[in-house]
Structure 1
Amino acid sequence: MIPMIDMARLLAERGVRVTFITTAVNASRITPIIDRVHQSHLPINFIELPFPAAEAGLPEGCKNWDLIPSKELYKNFFDALYLLRNPLEQHLKDLNPRPTCMINDMFNAWTTNVAKALNIRRLVFHGPSCIYLFCTYALQKHNIYEKVTDDAEEVIVPDLPTTVRVSIMHAPRWLNVPGFKQLRDEVLHAEETADGVVMNTFDDLEPMFVEAYKKMVGKDVWIIGPLCLYDKDFRSRIVRGNKLAAVDQDRMLS
């Protein structure tokens, strides 16, 4: 979420009117950042959507991924995300002027139908690197997970411009978690049908894999990272996220 708010600030500084939509719990974790945005008078509007935890069968107060008490409730959490569709669609309809583009992270694939219903261009935002995403999709595309029986066995990631070996135990497995097939298919479909992709990486870090990823997705890919360098104010950076930094800011500055 923090890279996305950095991106929102970058867009706003370039004259784009931005609406940042999140949940109340997420907003509470970035309150200092929101306060600084308001002080800067950037054209960013923050909207909080109520998170339907109870409607999705989640315990009271379980309104974020890191608050889920057991892995058996992971699916319920994603079910709750999908229940945000109608409130989000209504908010977007009420915006004036009407939005012209939507940027969402990969796990909010349900926004695909919202963008389609409102005829809004949609971009997918990725926080991880291009090599991570390429390996994730290549292993899934070639059914590597189904072919390997020993998780310690190293396999060569197909389609890469250089040889990369990875063991299944260290490979990204979120696309292959039992019971998440529908979510996996929707995430892949959301990227396939997106108007473009925004990446929090930079060309000098992984030029070979940036080009390989662009070729794989076959659409516009904007490399805009690293977004962590956007906020150069030390006091602002130590309050990013849901916990304060362990080291006192005044001790660091003295």
Structure 2
Amino acid sequence: MGSLPTLHFAIFPFLSQGHIIPLLHLSRLLRLRSAAVTIFTTAANSPPICAALADTDVSVVELPFPQHIQGLPPGVENTQNLPSNSFFIPFAKSTKLMQKSFEKALQTLNPPVSCIISDAFLGFTLHSAHKFNVPRLVFFGVGAFPSTMYQVLGREKPHAAAASLDEPFPIPGFPGLELTMNDFEPPYNEVAPSGPYVEFMEEQLASMAASHGMIVNTFYEMERRYVDYWDSKIGPKIYCAGPLCAVAPPRTAEEKLYVRFLDEKLAEGRPVLYIAFGTQAEVSPEQLREIALGLERSGVSFLWVLKSETVEFCPNFEERVRERGIVVREWVDQLEVLKHEGVCGFLSHCGWNSALEGITAGVPILALPFMAEQHLNARFLAEELGVGLRIMPTGGSVRGHVVAEEVERVVRELMCGERGAEARRKMAECGGAARGAMKEGGSSMGTLDLLIDEISGRRSRP
């Protein structure tokens, strides 16, 4: 009896850094399990992908990005290069025009494609999977908690009776859990949401529901309650395969200014707060000024990664804090920074990738969400898990302007206070569980093996 055909996974990430990076880690894991892996992307996104996978034999196929799309600036092939978030829908919709070139490329794969793993935003790949008679797995780049909460909100509408955006209401099926409409991104916090983004997401969710399953970058022990609910009441089945950042290969050590800074502060016995808000969040100069003033007044040492070319929102800020804080405008290896022994806190927008990197490194999180599902992530981290604290806006709402006094107070509490010490203890436990899930014999690795066996079973049937 001959050996089974080699499995071949076709992986198609959405064209956004936060969506691409975890799927590169997943590609490594699948390749280590003797599966062939091909990643599909565009010419502009290909170089960093190829560089990240240079030590593997994962294949990268370039597809042409649609040209002359109405409402979309020419030459943009990644969401991080969009002028603003208002361009997202035209960009996301344009990816549907890649279906023909994707399927043409699938025909050339050797061995033939066994399974398509595509981002949830690329719903058209379900039709491609049907054409090639292979299963489609959806990769969803957020955790089980926000995914489940949005589904419950849309189906059960527990917010219908709430008198205001900030009035707590109970979540059906989850005793003791209360949320507010402001925990959800507009327009989804409306009773009958509508608009272009809602229409786009409904299309993607319909494709997801008809898929074989959903790979989620999380681990079962952390989100058991929400994974079980999803599997029993929503579907398709969740495969917990994370945190995928735990298998990121170490980078070649480079002499960087920020690394020297961290080393110096460690030698001085001064713990450092790391601050980064991702690539997509649009933070106003006024809000950045309050954050800067709060950091200055807190007295803690910090490393702030900032997209802005200047800090004109707070004149002379860098000069005033130069003995204990630095602002970095170059690319930073965030996971390596978080793993540095001197980093003892992470002021984050609570994007899911950043949250998982903080958890994997065991660094407690100071939550300051801005957009998308980040407010729910902040709730989950600070209140459900207790692995961090939250900076709150004025006026008692979870949304709005954060003032310097609040930043100063909570930064000090995280770095020096009792609540920070408790968050650090809980994060150490959670981080250990996260790393354990990604070891051989861990829950996420076992789930990945189960998934591979399922796909192999499909291939072995006549």
Q: TM-score range by the shorter chain?
A: 0.7 to 0.9
The AA in structure 1 aligned to 2:140 is H
The AA in structure 1 aligned to 2:99 is R
SS at match of 1:25: coil
1:51-90 superposed matches below 5 A: 51-90=65-104
| CA 143–54 in structure 1, closer or farther in 2 if over 3 Å, else same | farther
Q: Select which of 16, 23, 36 maps to 1:4.
A: 23
1:215 Cα offset (Å): 1.4
Range with greater deviation from structure 2 (4-13 or 118-127): 118-127
State whether residues 53 and 62 of structure 1, in contact with CA within 8 Å, keep that contact through their aligned partners in structure 2: no
Q: Check if 1:28 corresponds to 2:47.
A: yes
Q: Check if 1:131 corresponds to 2:145.
A: yes
Give the match for residue 234 of structure 2.
217
| CA 85–205 in structure 1, closer or farther in 2 if over 3 Å, else same | same
SS at match of 1:104: strand
| CA 146–78 in structure 1, closer or farther in 2 if over 3 Å, else same | farther
Q: Distance in 2 between matches of 1:246 and 1:210?
A: 30
State whether residues 56 and 77 of structure 1, in contact with CA within 8 Å, keep that contact through their aligned partners in structure 2: no
State whether residues 122 and 194 of structure 1, in contact with CA within 8 Å, keep that contact through their aligned partners in structure 2: yes
Give the match for residue 165 of structure 1.
178
Q: Distance in 1 between matches of 2:37 and 2:187?
A: 31
CA deviation string 1:151-183 (max 9, x = no partner):
2232322333x3322222222457556222331
Q: Distance in 2 between matches of 1:186 and 1:59?
A: 24
Q: Check if 1:14 corresponds to 2:33.
A: yes
1:122 Cα offset (Å): 0.4
Q: Check if 1:50 corresponds to 2:64.
A: yes
The AA in structure 2 aligned to 1:102 is I
1:244 Cα offset (Å): 2.5
Task: Provide TM-score, normalisation by structure 1.
Answer: 0.82
CA deviation string 1:87-137 (max 9, x = no partner):
111111222222010011111112111112222210111222111110011
SS at match of 1:138: helix
State whether residues 137 and 215 of structure 2, in contact with CA within 8 Å, keep that contact through their aligned partners in structure 1: yes
Q: Select which of 187, 204, 208 maps to 1:191.
A: 208
State whether residues 143 and 218 of structure 2, in contact with CA within 8 Å, keep that contact through their aligned partners in structure 1: yes
SS at match of 2:164: coil
Q: Distance in 1 between matches of 2:185 and 2:110?
A: 41
The AA in structure 2 aligned to 1:181 is V
Q: Select which of 240, 244, 247 maps to 2:331.
A: 244
Q: Distance in 1 between matches of 2:236 and 2:94?
A: 30
Q: Distance in 1 between matches of 2:106 and 2:67?
A: 22
SS at match of 1:198: strand
* Structure 1 residues not aligned, in runs of 5+: none
Give the match for residue 119 of structure 2.
105
SS at match of 1:244: coil
Task: Provide TM-score, normalisation by structure 2.
Answer: 0.47
Q: Select which of 215, 218, 221 maps to 1:204.
A: 221
The AA in structure 2 aligned to 1:164 is L
* Structure 2 residues not aligned, in runs of 5+: 1-19, 254-277, 280-329, 342-462
| CA 232–22 in structure 1, closer or farther in 2 if over 3 Å, else same | same
Q: Distance in 2 between matches of 1:51 and 1:21?
A: 11
- Give the 4+ runs in structure 1 shifted more than 6 A: none
Larger radius of gyration: 2
Q: Distance in 2 between matches of 1:220 and 1:128?
A: 15
1:200 Cα offset (Å): 1.0
Q: Check if 1:180 corresponds to 2:193.
A: no
| CA 172–35 in structure 1, closer or farther in 2 if over 3 Å, else same | same
Q: Distance in 2 between matches of 1:163 and 1:226?
A: 27
SS at match of 2:83: coil
| CA 9–246 in structure 1, closer or farther in 2 if over 3 Å, else same | closer
| CA 137–79 in structure 1, closer or farther in 2 if over 3 Å, else same | same
The AA in structure 1 aligned to 2:206 is H
Q: Distance in 1 between matches of 2:98 and 2:45?
A: 14
1:32 Cα offset (Å): 2.8
Count of residue pairs brought into register by the alignment: 240
Q: Distance in 2 between matches of 1:211 and 1:83?
A: 36
State whether residues 214 and 220 of structure 1, in contact with CA within 8 Å, keep that contact through their aligned partners in structure 2: yes
SS at match of 2:242: coil
SS at match of 2:55: helix
1:218 Cα offset (Å): 4.1
Q: Check if 1:121 corresponds to 2:135.
A: yes
